[in-house]
């Protein structure tokens, strides 16, 4: 008889967003005339910029002509996009080469699928709280996982010490959900640790475009030695509004080698076996993000979200509520006022102000007593939500 993967039974119930939806529906049913504003979503709301949609329209026309029609794309991406990504790094003096770059349909797939190229008997180190995909994709494989605490005391930026163990180490900076962003010196501590212990760092840079402080690193490869110990994941989702369009990329440096095997070779094999490439039209749209117009237009959208974040931070400052994030991240991670628990604050905001956020407890045990607000909403919605919160804090 077929045996199922029993590791799935060990996944924590993914009740966070289902439970939020249930409580919001109940509230709406009881208060049909109240307009609920969501400050909880991790999805973008600004449309794709014109440079991107123009490039995609031109690509659609090419697909309609036998002379320019494209069939299966290369599994690792078209050169025209890979070269743009290489230039994006080179222009910042970051050592990334075209052959290191693998285009995909997003960072969620890649952070989940990268598990395929590592043996199941590796130990895995994951920060708590963090984006849940790292944990779940390893639980599915029955791997041994330890957590490293991200807390108010360490500014939600944990660092290794003598007792830290992990063959595979996940780092997300700027972090979802805390918005905390590692400095160069802090990332160097992780890189040195990985090089010393023969570990690999899986660095998720999905929010790099939100870093506004020029002193903070936006790529792990800004740290000397990182090419010998780190894989980086990045995405057009938050940088250019591709959450519904789907495009990302992963960097596996050619130096990265364990047990005499190059990881880039394994990842190439993994992708060409199980993935048939990102659509031509989408890759043309992604390449347009790097054109002068595309860059300026996507930055306009990022600045729009940044302004929302600034309004939320000003509000928290005015009310004396402590938080991380916002400055270099679309997320504001606040300490629930009056000692409330995450879900208690959720209910208070919903029932007294019809504002929805995300309870921190949904991201790990250290998220209890914390709450995530996002700057991805509309300006009007953000301003109105803050006006309502002003009345209850
Ligand atoms: N990595 C982090 C830290 C995220 O928060 C998200 C989405 O919210 C992703 C990756 C997913 O990115 P993508 O849309 O490219 O799959």
- Residue 378 has what pLDDT? 96
- Residue 14 has what pLDDT? 72
> Is 0.95 surpassed by the pTM of this model?
yes
Note the maximum CA span of the chain.
Answer: 66
- Residue 195 has what pLDDT? 98
Mean pLDDT by 10 residues, the chain (393 residues): 96 84 96 95 93 98 98 98 98 96 98 97 96 94 96 97 96 98 98 98 98 98 98 98 98 96 98 97 98 98 98 98 97 97 97 97 95 97 97 92
Q: What is the DSSP string of 318-348?
A: HHT--EEESSSSSEEEEEPGGG--HHHHHHH
Residue owning the nearest CA to atom 12 of ligand 1: 107
- Residue 220 has what pLDDT? 98
The best mutation among 113, 181, 237 to test binding of ligand 1, ranked by most ligand atoms within 8 Å of the C-beta, falls on 237
- Calpha distance 146→203 (Å, rounded): 17
- Residue 18 has what pLDDT? 86
- Residue 322 has what pLDDT? 97
233 C-alpha vs ligand 1 centroid, how far in Å? Answer: 9
- Residue 86 has what pLDDT? 98
């Amino acid at each position: 008889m077929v045996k199922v993967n029993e590791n799935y039974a060990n996944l924590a119930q993914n009740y966070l967003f289902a439970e939020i939806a249930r409580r919001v529906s109940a509230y709406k049913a009881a208060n049909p005339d109240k307009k609920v504003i969501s400050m909880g979503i991790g999805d973008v709301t600004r449309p794709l910029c014109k440079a991107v949609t123009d490039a995609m329209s031109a690509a659609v026309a090419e697909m309609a002509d036998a002379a320019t029609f494209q069939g299966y794309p290369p599994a690792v991406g078209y050169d025209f996009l890979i070269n743009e990504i290489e230039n994006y790094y080179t222009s910042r003096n970051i050592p990334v080469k075209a052959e290191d770059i693998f285009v995909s349909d997003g960072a969620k797939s890649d952070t989940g699928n990268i598990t395929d190229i590592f043996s199941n008997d590796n130990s895995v180190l994951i920060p708590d709280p963090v984006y849940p995909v790292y944990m779940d994709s390893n639980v599915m494989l029955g791997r041994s996982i330890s957590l490293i605490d991200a807390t108010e005391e360490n500014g939600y930026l944990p660092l290794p010490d003598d007792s830290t163990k992990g063959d595979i180490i996940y780092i997300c900076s700027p972090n979802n959900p805390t918005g905390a962003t590692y400095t160069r010196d802090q990332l160097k501590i992780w890189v040195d640790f990985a090089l010393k212990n023969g570990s690999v760092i899986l660095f998720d840079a999905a929010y790099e475009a939100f870093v506004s402080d020029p002193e903070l690193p936006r790529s792990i490869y800004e740290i000397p030695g990182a090419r010998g110990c780190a894989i980086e994941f990045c995405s057009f989702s938050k940088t250019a509004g591709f959450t519904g369009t789907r495009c990302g990329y992963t960097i596996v440096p050619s130096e990265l080698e364990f047990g005499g095997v190059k990881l880039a070779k394994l990842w190439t094999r993994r992708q060409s076996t199980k993935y048939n490439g990102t659509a031509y039209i989408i890759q043309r749209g992604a390449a347009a993000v790097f054109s002068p117009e595309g860059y300026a237009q996507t930055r306009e959208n990022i600045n729009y979200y940044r302004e929302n974040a600034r309004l939320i931070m000003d509000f928290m400052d005015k009310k004396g509520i402590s938080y991380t994030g916002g400055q270099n991240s679309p997320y504001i991670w606040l300490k629930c006022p009056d000692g409330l628990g995450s879900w208690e604050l959720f209910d208070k905001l919903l029932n007294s102000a019809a504002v929805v956020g995300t309870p921190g407890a949904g991201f790990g045990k250290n998220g209890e007593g914390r709450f995530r607000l996002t700057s991805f909403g509309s300006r009007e919605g953000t301003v109105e939500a803050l006006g309502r919160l002003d009345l209850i804090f």
